[in-house]
Amino acid sequence: MDINNIPAPMQEQENGPTYDVSRRRFFQMAGGLAGAGLLVASCRRTPPSDTYLGEGDIALLNYLYVLKQVTVAFYNQAVATTYYSATQSEIELQIELRDQELAHREFLKTLLGKNAVKTVTTQMAIVNFSDKTSFLTNAATLEDLSASAYAGVIRLLKDQSYILYLGKMSTVDARHAGYVRDILNHNSFASGMNVLDSNALNWVTSPAQGMAQLGNYLETRFDTSKLPTF
Amino acid sequence: MNFKHIISEIEKTDPEVYERLSGRREMLGSFGSKVALAALPLALASMFKKAYGQSTDVVVNALNLALEFEFMQHTYYRQGTNTGSLIPAQDLPGFKIIESQEKAHVAFLEKVIAGLGGVAFRPKYYTASTTVHPYVPAAYDFTMGGKFTPFADYETFLTIAQVLEDTYIHAIHGQTETLQANNAVLSQVFALAAVEGRHAAYVRLRRRLAVGAAETPTPWIQNNIPPVPSLSFQKYYLGEDNTIQKSVDIQGLSNVYYANGAMPQVAATAAFDEPYTKENVMNLIAPFKKL
């Protein structure tokens, strides 16, 4: 088999996230071959230059925009390959989760205008979408991050005209977090490691920590050197 | 009284407290030995007022509105968890968690308000013998004047809980911009609101999944849909069907997953919780309070 004929990973299309499906297909094709490790190594692209997140408020809003790109890609994959044993309610609500994340993503993209970072390439290899526990555990990770990200951003954001709107999204993401945690593990909607602090306030994630966590779901690498953080 | 502890608590919410108090810092250091203990609270309060100026009152007022909701919610949930077989065994741990988290929020808000030199809100009839801080059953009438029986059937208990949770979230969004002078407190209020969002989702999910449920609400607010009877609760959801955010038409944003390429209205509205003014929320919670 000529490795040059192996299809390149699907590139991001307008508004369409890249799924790990293409990678999976790739590995399935490669699976029958001995020396797959060698194949993978030889296919590794030269590291692309890191995407610059911007500085100040723009970097902070781009951080949320990247987060939303990841959650949309995540839920879109979940809708396409729903886990075994999903109830009718769960199927309906994961479509709503995807759509609300998409509303947030496009809202942030519109606000950022020409300062918006490019469409990211996601990397969902750590998620087994056909497995309920794997899907919901990762959903909880991403929603807990969402619920904790805004409080971090608002601490640093200079432009006060965003306060109201980030707040309006933050409680909706907290609703998402409460929901996915509860169907993962009943009554765990507001408890767990790094979920709440000793005052029963939601955990606050710093932008730098948030970008680092998102790295688990991203192929695109970012230059966060000018991202305000604490 | 440990005033150094108070300053360090404020420092957590406002890292610039020492700068604001600059010039007064030495005074702080010498407090212990030279100022009569009885005069300390007054001296501290006036010092903070000078440091933060007008904005302190605004911040304290916003925090006190949140505190009023926390007292009310804690009392509601405690009454519920203490009522015989009202809450099914599988959900009881969840409501006990909510009850204890609202209690922790009361303590947190009281601490911040005290740190700012403000006076913490107290419910009416706080001095009643039935009060076990912050549980103040004498202050509230959760039957809304005998219309509902939240402690007699679980369905009604969940309905009122949903209304209280969603209204509190509306109330917080109505206050966040008044906190803009203090980013640290603002951040903590965001963190507090997020926990209320988790609670709201839990309550709404219980209603959705109830066997034979007449309504199947989502964990988030679709359009401006109230629980039944809508005649009683529609006003708690007015404006939730807003689709314009920061001059952006959310329904006009593209959604490639639909044939028409547009964002469904349900998603456009559910993706954002809406702010209510203090005046509005005070009117909305009035039926839950005893005269």
Residue A26 contacts residue A7 (beta carbons within 8 Å): yes
Contacts of B216 in chain A (CB under 8 A): 89
DSSP B119-159: -----TTTTSTT-BTTB-GGGB-TTTTTT--TTT-HHHHHH
> What is the pLDDT, as a whole number, of residue A193?
83
Are B187 and A98 in contact (CB < 8 Å)? no
> What is the pLDDT, as a whole number, of residue B47?
53
- The pLDDT tens digits for B237-283 are 999 999 999 999 999 999 999 999 999 999 999 999 999 999 999 99
**Average pLDDT of span B95-122:** 97
Mutate to test the interface with A, among B9, B109, B220 (most CBs of A within 10 A): B220
Which is higher by pLDDT, B172 or B31?
A: B172
Residue of B nearest to A110 (CA): B248
Which range has the worst mean pLDDT, A67-71, B32-36, B214-218?
B32-36
> What is the pLDDT, as a whole number, of residue B212?
87
Chain A closest-CA separation from residue B87 CA (Å)? 13
Count CB-CB contacts under 10 A for residue B86. Answer: 18
Are A102 and B257 in contact (CB < 8 Å)? yes
> What is the pLDDT, as a whole number, of residue A194?
87
Residue B78 pLDDT greater than 90, yes or no: yes
Paired residues of A218 in beta bridges: A122
Are A107 and B245 in contact (CB < 8 Å)? yes
Residue of B nearest to A198 (CA): B104
Mutate to test the interface with B, among A19, A201, A205 (most CBs of B within 10 A): A201
Residue of B nearest to A170 (CA): B194
Which is higher by pLDDT, B43 or A50?
A: A50
Which is higher by pLDDT, A141 or B51?
A: A141
> What is the pLDDT, as a whole number, of residue B256?
93
**How does strand A51-52 pair with strand A222-223?**
parallel
> What is the pLDDT, as a whole number, of residue B8?
60
- The pLDDT tens digits for B54-64 are 578 999 999 99
Residue A162 pLDDT greater than 80, yes or no: yes
Contacts of B245 in chain A (CB under 8 A): 107, 165, 168
> Nearest Cβ partner of B253 from A103, A150, A175?
A103
- The pLDDT tens digits for A67-113 are 999 999 999 999 999 999 999 999 999 999 999 999 999 999 999 99
> What is the pLDDT, as a whole number, of residue A80?
97
Residue A133 pLDDT greater than 50, yes or no: yes
**Average pLDDT of span B93-111:** 98
Residue A167 pLDDT greater than 70, yes or no: yes
Highest average pLDDT, of A86-95, B5-14, B21-30, comes from A86-95
Buried b (16+ CB within 10 A) or exposed e, B178-215: bbbbbbbbbbbbbbbbbbbbbbbbbbbbbbbeeeeeee
* Complex-level ipTM: 0.84
Residue of A nearest to B96 (CA): A187
The secondary structure of residue B210, as a DSSP letter, is: S
> What is the pLDDT, as a whole number, of residue A112?
98
Cβ-in-10-Å burial (0-12, 13-18, 19+) of A30 comes to middle
Which residues 4-43 on chain B approach chain A with CB closer than 8 angstroms?
Answer: none
> What is the pLDDT, as a whole number, of residue B54?
58
Chain B closest-CA separation from residue A42 CA (Å)? 35
Which residues 114-143 on chain B approach chain A with CB closer than 8 angstroms?
Answer: none
Asked if B58 has any chain A CB less than 8 Å from its own CB, the reply is: no
Residue among A209, A142, A143, A210 at smallest CA distance from A171: A143
For chain A, what is the mean pLDDT?
Answer: 86
Quote the CATH superfamily of domain B53-239+274-288: Ferritin, core subunit, four-helix bundle (1.20.1260.10)
Residue B50 pLDDT greater than 80, yes or no: no
Strand runs labelled E in chain B: 244-245, 248-249
> What is the pLDDT, as a whole number, of residue B56?
87
> What is the pLDDT, as a whole number, of residue A42?
44
Are B198 and A178 in contact (CB < 8 Å)? yes
> Nearest Cβ partner of B104 from A157, A169, A199?
A199
Domains of chain A: 12-223 (1.20.1260.10)
Are B101 and A175 in contact (CB < 8 Å)? no
Torsion A182-A187-A190-A195 (CA) sign: negative
Mutate to test the interface with A, among B12, B87, B187 (most CBs of A within 10 A): B187
> What is the pLDDT, as a whole number, of residue B7?
53
Q: What does the domain layout of chain B look like in residue ranges?
A: 3-51, 53-239+274-288
Asked if B209 has any chain A CB less than 8 Å from its own CB, the reply is: yes
Are B193 and A170 in contact (CB < 8 Å)? yes
Residue of A nearest to B244 (CA): A107
Which is higher by pLDDT, A43 or B258?
A: B258
Contacts of A19 in chain B (CB under 8 A): none
Residue of B nearest to A16 (CA): B256
pLDDT-based confidence at residue B181 (cuts at 50, 70, 90): confident
> What is the pLDDT, as a whole number, of residue B93?
98
Which range has the worst mean pLDDT, A35-39, A157-161, A214-218, B20-24?
A35-39
- Cα–Cα distance between B291 and B283 in angstroms, integer? 13
Are B219 and A169 in contact (CB < 8 Å)? no
pLDDT-based confidence at residue A213 (cuts at 50, 70, 90): very high
- The pLDDT tens digits for A1-25 are 344 444 443 333 444 444 444 444 4
pLDDT-based confidence at residue B4 (cuts at 50, 70, 90): low
Size of interface A-B (CB pairs under 8 A): 222
For chain B, what is the mean pLDDT?
Answer: 88
Which is higher by pLDDT, A48 or B288?
A: B288
Residue A169 contacts residue B193 (beta carbons within 8 Å): no
Chain B closest-CA separation from residue A201 CA (Å)? 5
